[in-house]
Amino acid sequence: MDFKELCEQTAQKFFDLQSKEEEIRKIATVIFNTLKNGNKLLILGNGGSAADAQHMAAELVGRFLKERKALSAIALTTDTSILTSISNDYSFDVIFERQIEALGKNKDVVFGISTSGNSENVYLGLKKAGQLGLTTIGLLGKNGGKIKDIAEISLIVDSDYTPTIQELHIFIIHNICKIIEDLWTK
Ligand SMILES: O=C(CO)[C@@H](O)[C@H](O)[C@H](O)[C@H](O)COP(=O)(O)O
Ligand SMILES: [Zn+2]
């Protein structure tokens, strides 16, 4: 695909997202209620999705567009000592599972980001979260992969092209943060 076709494809996918407004609103409301009740959000993903996880945590702990209280969100992608020790001593597949076991409390929400829907560490993280009674959300791509089968709520960007999926993921994350902030300051 050339540049023009890529632009058109991505623009069309953004347009299609309008039909997912209700799903986005539902996810934002679940996270808002979790934070309002004094519980927290744990976010995970690999590569570009790790960057998205950190970006989302920054919007909530810092601020998005409005002044309000700091909100409890942690990206489980940032502590290199934890990530290297778990990978070295156990396996890279359990880097999120182990952190969720350590930090997850009942009524927290775990938000897993995966463009393929098949990253083993995100899958095992959400699986552990479900076993511990946490709420699980998957922000996914392609056909949702195996993560869609275990996440309580899945939002799937309907594309096979990873860059486009990631571009829409961060757009969705910004809008989730916007809805949470609007509800908070209402
Ligand atoms: O940003 C990109 C590709 O655009 C890559 O870093 C990409 O995130 C990595 O290959 C990830 O490991 C892919 O994992 P996932 O999205 O399939 O869960
Ligand atoms: Zn990328």
Q: What's the rounded Cα separation, in Å, for the pair 86 and 92?
A: 7
Tell me if 65 is assigned to some domain: yes
Q: What's the rounded Cα separation, in Å, for the pair 76 and 85?
A: 14
Locate 29 and state its tokens: 């409301």
Instruction: Please report the pLDDT score of residue 180 as a whole number.
Output: 98
Instruction: Please report the pLDDT score of residue 37 as a whole number.
Output: 98
Q: CA angle 109-181-111, nearest 5°?
A: 20
Q: Is 130 in the pocket of ligand 1 (CB under 6 A)?
A: no
Tell me if 90 is assigned to some domain: yes
Ligand nearest to the CA of 50: 1
The tens-digit pLDDT sequence of the chain (186 residues) is 899 999 999 999 999 999 999 999 999 999 999 999 999 999 999 999 999 999 999 999 999 999 999 999 999 999 999 999 999 999 999 999 999 999 999 999 999 999 999 999 999 999 999 999 999 999 999 999 999 999 999 999 999 999 999 999 999 999 999 999 999 999
What is the CATH number for 178? 3.40.50.10490
Q: What is the pTM of this model?
A: 0.98
Instruction: Please report the pLDDT score of residue 1 as a whole number.
Output: 87
Number of domains in the chain: 1
Q: Which residue has the CA at smallest separation from atom 7 of ligand 1? A: 47
Instruction: Please report the pLDDT score of residue 147 as a whole number.
Output: 98
Q: Is 77 in the pocket of ligand 1 (CB under 6 A)?
A: no
Q: Which domain holds residue 52?
A: 34-184
Q: Which residue has the CA at smallest separation from atom 9 of ligand 1? A: 47
Locate 81 and state its tokens: 């000592």
Tell me if 19 is assigned to some domain: no
Q: What's the rounded Cα separation, in Å, for the pair 19 and 25?
A: 11
Tell me if 16 is assigned to some domain: no
Q: Is 34 in the pocket of ligand 1 (CB under 6 A)?
A: no
